[in-house]
Chains A and B, each alone.
Chain A
Amino acid sequence: MNAGRAWIPLLLVLAATAGCGDSPDARQPLTKLSITGSSTMAPLIAAIGKRFERRHPGVRIDVQTGGSSRGVADTRSGLAHIGMVSRALRALEQRDLVGTPVARDGIGLIVHNTNPVGALTPRQVVALYTGGMTTWRPVSGKDASVVVVNKAEGRATLELFLKYFHLTNAEIRADVIIGDNEQGIKFVAGNPHAIGYVSNGAAEYALRHEVPIKRLPLTTASAPPAAGHPAPSPLARPLTLVTTRRPPALAQAFIAFAASSHVHDLVAAHYFVPLAA
């Protein structure tokens, strides 16, 4: 029990020092940037942060994840200096926040690589996702039930998908709800009758590493896809860094660095598309 008593002073010390953590609004020269938000962007921004730290000794970039909505909320509340949002800012958000795109990420449809279906029209995609088409047969596929993989509420990929196909989430008849891109890829790779949509970057990497999926091009009347080369996805989203209207100088410097050509190699290494210089 003596050991038990020894903890008491330690606890008091812990309690006394509880207020000493760095919070974004501490009034001292800023050396630690807090960035939260999109889990899609986090690995890329963390890598850019490491390069930024090497160029600015003494500066620390702390990257946290939790989703785009969290990036917006934490930037507003002041918990983070910069938010990561993997879509364009909405009109309402632009009233108090400023967004700077740093890269682009396309979204593409994926199916298992044994699925004989070659391409889909937007109308067919809508039918598949709203329950109008429940087997693959009408699109000259196998006579098997379609397993529809949708994204969870709050995911930027879901919002983009719904907007592009003029759908609401309530109309979608999903069999499986997933969170992250990798989860979607793993699910589709393990289910020959599934269809899902994920970040092109993640799909690209999976294809190169022989994961059994294939990308499904969208055909439109005007532009049929060239063989072997899926047309540039119209379903693309900007990966955006957001701040309040008056960000600290360090945050501005970081965003300028993240949007510059100094990090294009990192953007490409994470399978995103660098912005034109």
Chain B
Amino acid sequence: MALVLLVFFAGLLGHLLWHGAAGLSWELFTAPPRHAGRDGGIAPILVSTGLILGVCMVTALPFGLGTAVLLAEVTQRRSWTGEFVRRSLDTLAGVPSIVFGLFGNAFFCVTLGLGFSIMSGGLTLACMVLPILIRTAEEGLRAVPREYRLAAAALGFSHASTVCQLLLPAAVPALLAGFILGLGRAMAETAALIFTSGYVDRMPASLWDSGRALSIHIYDLSMHVPGGDGRAYASALVLIGLLLVINAGAMWAGRRLTAQWILVA
């Protein structure tokens, strides 16, 4: 089974490399798109993607961590509130991303007056990744051995410092896993962004500008631009590369943080 997965992944990567490698060049990373993206590079699109993900994570992380702590440490496991929040989150996690896109368009773009902007896109993505972020963080916190809590209580730690000093650091690998899952979903998102952060392929001047995300660029090139396939493959290769780099980086950071914490403790 694992072998089948491996072959599948290798096949996908091979296909992308075969079609996209020719399009990889220094210009791809430094130049703006020309001729509707058939020529030139994807520099403004990379910047927009980074900004959208930044807004998304900066907004989602505090909410996500807060709610996870609430669910795992404050409410009782079987309590009515906890169960209600959990059910809501699981339902939200299964909602198709286009629904988030339409909600983001109606709420952030129109009601809040943010218009088509990186801000609208980032906030919409934040709503979308919150369920994943919260549920993985909650499981991570629950997985911390019960002895830690007992030891902290025996030492006279307050509940707040038990959570901040002990449980959160101990749950770092799980928190990072949630972060990566969320980031991965956000990065590959098209439907939630097309109506929120939009389609403009210019270098964004601020968070209030519309900016095209990498996944939308790939979608547009392959679906609406005759002859855009070459650059679409190259952009897809960049997207996969970024995902791999983020995964590897987060794993490394996870190991490092855990090691540090063990040293301190």
Contact = CB atoms under 8 A, between A and B. Distances in A.
Contacts of B209: 62
B36 A11 contact: no
B127 to A, nearest CB: 14
Interface residues of A, number: 44
Contacts of A216: none
Nearest to B205: A60
A263 interface: no
B194 A21 contact: no
B201 interface: yes
A4 B60 CA distance: 11
A64 B36 contact: no
A21 B62 contact: no
Given A10-B58, A21-B119, A23-B113, 18 more contacts: A7-B61, A21-B114, A23-B115, A40-B224, A43-B36, A43-B224, A43-B225, A46-B200, A62-B198, A64-B195, A64-B198, A64-B200, A65-B194, A79-B109, A79-B115, A179-B223, A183-B223, A204-B226
A181 B224 contact: yes
**B: interface residue count bin:** 35 or more
A23 B111 CA distance: 11
B207 to A, nearest CB: 9
B35 A47 contact: yes
Contacts of B163: 1
Contacts of B195: 64, 66
B200 A201 contact: no
- A-B pairs, top 6 by smallest CB distance, nearest first, are A205-B226, A43-B36, A1-B164, A180-B223, A21-B114, A7-B62
Interface string B196-231: 001111100000111000000000101111110000
Interface in A35-74: 39-40, 42-44, 46-47, 60, 62-66
Interface of A: 1, 4, 7-8, 10-11, 14, 18-24, 34, 39-40, 42-44, 46-47, 60, 62-66, 77, 79, 179-183, 201-202, 204-206, 209, 269-271
B226 A202 contact: yes
Contacts of B226: 182, 201-202, 204-206, 209, 270-271
Interface string B5-44: 0000000000000000000000000000001110000000
Contacts of A270: 36, 226
28 contacts: A1-B163, A1-B165, A1-B168, A7-B61, A10-B58, A11-B58, A18-B114, A20-B208, A21-B114, A21-B115, A21-B117, A34-B115, A34-B116, A42-B199, A44-B36, A47-B36, A62-B198, A62-B200, A63-B199, A64-B210, A66-B195, A180-B223, A181-B224, A182-B222, A182-B223, A205-B227, A270-B36, A270-B226
B59 interface: yes
A46 B164 contact: no
A22 B115 contact: yes
